[in-house]
């Protein structure tokens, strides 16, 4: 008896339906049953051909990623199973509905014939997880579609539409519709039988490397050197496809498997798989399940048409939602609307929107100066100046004009969401929706849950966030929420190290060498030294006990050296080039002397440890305080919103890789070594101490 397979005889056909919800991941039991079903059909003399399909489910999303830390190769392993299927002496048709990804597409390729429906997506996304296809994909795809096309598909990880797959020869047929897929597949199998088609048709590109120049793979790798810097998987893909071009399948398949195992066991792939599961986990919040009714959102209002408001409005317009944009003054409104139009026009120029679509989107946007126009909005997002007094006025007015049950959201980056909620008589309806700039592009969305935010408001915000293509991560209320709160100690160390003897270029280089998109000092130059200064202004009181570390930056502000926009900040800029500026080094030296800070040679290791351990320590503290629900949420915020390298899995995953003991020892070392400064800022998080004391290697809230 099968538990995950629907096995049915249809005259001379065996229909093998894969039935492992939700996406037919090819886990151990499914592999065992697929093997048994295949053997049953092979042994049955009445069966002349087989059809493999997803029984009420997508065809298959590939190998079961949850098994990769344990039973990935439990018998039959996917590679072995597919070798067995590919050796069938009866024709097999893969009927692809929904998805054929990774091992799912490899299964389809092991079947001799493939038919897909019009909404199906076919791809090998392994590269996005730091892997390469490991069940024949790097060997069979080049033989089907040619080596160059195969490389593009494998290295991009992007799925193909069925029409394109048909063009390339990855599909043999298109079904008339998703509903007729199985019938069409049966008809196709019968045609094959009538025509006496072989179980495995001859490969269209039996020698996929023949047309390639001799140095093709070396040149390809050289061309990608900077893009692939520090990444393992693309190099392994090149190696596997090269072998496919040079060796017979029997040699290529075991070699591919060796390369796959190397990738699977690499820290990079582990980090990327961690982020894959963290992303799925982030959508789950205790107390919220599918039975909780959500608030219907059919109309959105955005207040403030500045940098953030415009981008926020675009997110909703892009999914066809009408948006009212409210400003204080006509000029500001016109400017905001014109900027949105300009953004869409640019997209249209790049060929990604038609002019008609631009007009359709603009037609969904209504500008207003009158709060009365917000009366029927289901969700209002405020993006006005970062001032508690302005927020008070806005929320008090919203409380007056908005309909009962409307969700009132603030995009504040630093202010207290609970205090903002208290400006209304409906704090349960208030929530923070912290978008990142540019708001129409950046995927991260911190969903800030106030003390009184109702569960259905939170659940609705999470669902809506996903609908507009964001990655919503829940944060509690604290200064800076998850992301900016962690930025503070990380940036603090970068700035303080300038006083102790490092140069901006040295600090930033250590961070970019680690794979960060940008060093933190360059980032402040990009954002504006003035922006950093103004954000710090309300914090000065709490910094008063040690005002030292931002002194260089404060002085740059006073000198009008505001960063890239003025051509000078932490660096001197000439076009896109930048250099260390002797004037900044002199300022740092003078201030260090004034503050009695001993300057010395700073090693790269010290820069790494102080910046990263301070960041990690704050993350662990946030977890302990319950601001973040899980370590994975913190990793998502930093990889998705702050350019932390995904191949390191986020700051907390990286800490686990480094070893929690090492992080704790480093914090203790600098606490002892840096005098009063160390005493003040290098206090290890209590949770980190508890984890190390109890011998834990993973960061969990205890």
- Catalytic residue numbers read 106, 126
Q: If we measure between CA atoms, which residue out of 279, 286, 272, 267 comes closest to residue 701?
A: 286
Q: Strand order in 92-96's β-sheet? A: 5-10, 13-18, 49-54, 92-96, 113-116, 173-174
Structural contact between residues 134 and 256, judged by C-beta atoms closer than 8 angstroms: yes
Helix, strand, coil fractions of the chain, as percent rounded to 5: 50, 10, 35
372 burial type by CB count under 10 A (0-12 exposed, 13-18 middle, 19+ buried): exposed
Distance from CA of residue 524 to its chain's centroid?
23
Instruction: Give, to the nearest 10 degrees, the angle between helix 660-673 and helix 604-625.
Output: 110
Selected binder of ligand 3HC within 17, 91, 97, 103 (CB under 6 A): 103
Binding-residue pattern over the window 345 to 384 for ligand NAI, x denoting contact by CB under 6 A: --------------------------------------xx
3-state SS of 643-683 is CCCHHHCCHHHHHHHHCHHHHHHHHHHHHHHCHHHHHHHCC
- Select the residue interacting with ligand 3HC from 133, 208, 209, 309 (CB under 6 A): 133
Strand partners, 302: 325, 381
Residue 413 contact, options ligand NAI, ligand 3HC, none, Cβ 5-8 Å cut-off depending on partner type: ligand NAI
Based on CB atoms, which residue is closest to ligand NAI, 409 or 556?
A: 409
Least Cβ distance, residue 491 to ligand 3HC (angstroms): 34
Q: Dig out the tokens for 556 from the structure.
A: 């740059």
Q: Which two tokens stand for residue 518?
A: 């940008």
Q: Which does 298 bind (CB under 5 to 8 A by kind): ligand 3HC, ligand NAI, none?
A: none
Q: Which position among 22, 70, 196, 404 is part of the footprint of ligand 3HC (CB under 6 A)? A: 22
Instruction: Rule CB under 6 A: say whether 141 interacts with ligand 3HC.
Output: no
CA nearest to 472, candidates 498, 448, 446: 446
First-last CA distance in the chain? 43
Binding mask 145-184 for ligand 3HC (x = CB under 6 A): ----------------------------------------
Contact set for ligand 3HC, span 427-456 (CB under 6 A): none
Q: What whole-number distance in Å separates Cα of residue 220 and Cα of residue 65?
A: 30
DSSP structure string for 272-308: HHHHHHHHHHHT--TT--TTSPPPP---EEEE--SHH
- Nearest residue by C-beta to ligand 3HC? 102
CB closer to ligand NAI out of 306 and 567: 306
For residues 24 to 63, the per-residue mask of contacts with ligand 3HC, x marking binding by CB under 6 A and - elsewhere, is -x-----------------------------------xxx
Number of residues that bind ligand NAI (CB under 6 A): 24
Cβ closest to ligand NAI, residue 417 vs residue 627? 417
Radius of gyration of the chain (CA): 29
* Residue 408 beta carbon to ligand 3HC: minimum distance, rounded to whole angstroms: 29
Q: Does 539 bind ligand NAI (CB under 6 A)?
A: no
Tell how strand 577-580 and strand 571-574 pair up.
antiparallel
Question: Which among ligand NAI, ligand 3HC, none contacts residue 135 (Cβ within 5 to 8 A by kind)?
Answer: ligand 3HC
Orientation angle between helical segments 504-513 and 520-527, nearest 10 degrees: 110
Q: Which residue sits closest to ligand NAI, CB atoms considered? A: 306
Smallest distance, ligand 3HC to C-beta of residue 101, A: 4
Interface map 311-330 toward ligand 3HC (x if CB under 6 A): --------------------
- Restricted to residues 414-443, the positions that interact with ligand NAI (CB under 6 A) are 435-437
Distance of CA 346 to the CA centre of its chain: 25
Output 25 or 237, the one with its CB closest to ligand 3HC. 25
Q: Which residues bind ligand NAI (CB under 6 A)?
A: 303-309, 326-328, 332, 383-386, 390, 393-394, 411-413, 435-437
Binding site for ligand 3HC (CB under 6 A): 22-23, 25, 61-66, 78, 99, 101-103, 106, 125-126, 129, 131, 133-135, 137, 280
């Amino acid at each position: 008896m099968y538990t995950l397979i629907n096995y049915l005889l249809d005259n001379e056909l065996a229909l093998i339906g894969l039935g492992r919800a939700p996406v037919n991941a090819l886990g151990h039991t499914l592999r065992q049953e697929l093997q048994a079903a295949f053997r049953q059909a092979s042994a049955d003399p009445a069966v002349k051909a087989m059809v493999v399909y997803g029984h009420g489910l997508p065809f298959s999303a590939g190998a079961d990623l949850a098994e990769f830390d344990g039973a990935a190769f439990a018998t039959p392993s996917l590679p072995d199973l597919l070798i067995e299927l590919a050796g069938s002496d009866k024709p097999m048709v893969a009927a692809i509905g929904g998805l054929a990804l990774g091992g799912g597409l490899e299964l389809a390729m092991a079947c001799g014939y493939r038919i897909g429906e019009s909404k199906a997506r076919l791809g090998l996304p392994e590269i996005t997880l730091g892997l390469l296809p490991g069940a024949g994909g790097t060997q069979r795809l080049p033989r089907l579609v040619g080596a160059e096309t195969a490389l593009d598909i494998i290295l991009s990880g992007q799925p193909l539409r069925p029409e394109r797959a048909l063009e390339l020869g990855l599909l043999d047929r298109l079904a008339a519709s998703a509903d007729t897929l199985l019938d069409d597949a049966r008809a196709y199998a019968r045609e094959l039988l009538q025509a006496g088609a072989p179980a495995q048709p001859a490969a269209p590109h039996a020698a996929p490397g023949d047309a390639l120049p001799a140095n093709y793979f070396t040149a390809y790798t050289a061309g990608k050197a900077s893009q692939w810097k520090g990444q393992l998987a693309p190099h392994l893909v090149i190696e596997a496809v090269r072998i496919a071009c040079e060796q017979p399948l029997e040699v290529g398949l075991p070699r591919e498997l060796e390369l796959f195992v190397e990738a699977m066991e690499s820290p990079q792939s582990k980090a990327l798989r961690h982020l894959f599961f963290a992303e799925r986990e982030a959508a789950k919040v205790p107390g919220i399940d599918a039975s909780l009714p959500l608030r219907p959102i059919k109309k959105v209002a955005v207040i403030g048409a500045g940098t953030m408001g415009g981008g926020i409005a675009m997110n909703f317009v892009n999914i066809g939602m009408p948006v009212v944009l409210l400003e204080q003054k006509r000029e500001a409104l016109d400017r905001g609307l014109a900027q949105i139009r300009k953004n869409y026009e640019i997209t249209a120029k790049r060929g990604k929107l038609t002019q008609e679509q631009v007009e359709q989107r603009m037609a969904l946007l209504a500008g207003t100066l009158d709060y009365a126009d917000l009366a029927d909005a289901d969700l209002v997002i405020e993006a006005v100046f970062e001032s508690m007094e302005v927020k008070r006025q806005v929320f008090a007015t919203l409380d007056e004009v908005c309909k009962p049950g409307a969700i009132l959201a603030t995009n504040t980056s630093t202010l207290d969401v609970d205090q903002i909620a208290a400006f209304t008589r409906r704090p349960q309806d208030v929530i923070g929706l912290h978008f990142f700039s540019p708001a129409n592009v950046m995927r991260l969305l911190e969903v800030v849950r106030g003390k009184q935010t109702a569960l259905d408001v939170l659940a609705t915000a999470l669902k809506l966030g996903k609908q507009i293509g964001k990655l919503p991560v829940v944060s509690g209320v604290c200064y800076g929420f998850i992301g900016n709160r962690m930025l503070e100690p990380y940036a603090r160390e970068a700035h303080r190290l300038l006083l102790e003897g490092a140069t901006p270029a040295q600090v930033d280089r250590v961070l970019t060498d680690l794979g960060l998109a940008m060093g933190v000092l360059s980032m402040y130059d990009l954002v504006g030294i003035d922006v950093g200064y103004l954000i710090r202004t309300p914090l000065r009181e709490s910094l008063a006990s040690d005002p030292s570390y931002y002194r260089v930056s404060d002085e740059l502000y006073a000198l009008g050296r505001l960063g890239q926009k003025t051509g000078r900040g932490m660096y001197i800029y000439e076009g896109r080039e930048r250099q260390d500026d002797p004037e900044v080094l002199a300022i740092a030296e003078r201030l260090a002397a004034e503050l009695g800070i001993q300057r010395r040679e700073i090693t790269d290791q010290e820069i790494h440890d102080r910046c990263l351990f301070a960041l990690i320590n704050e993350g662990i503290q946030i977890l302990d305080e319950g601001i973040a629900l899980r370590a994975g949420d913190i990793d998502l915020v930093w990889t998705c919103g702050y350019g932390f390298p995904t191949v390191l899995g986020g700051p907390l995953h990286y800490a686990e890789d480094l070893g929690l003991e090492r992080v704790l020892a480093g914090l203790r070392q600098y606490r002892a070594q840096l005098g009063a400064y160390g005493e003040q800022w290098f206090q290890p998080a209590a949770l980190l101490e508890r984890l190390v004391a109890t011998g834990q290697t993973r960061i969990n809230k205890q």
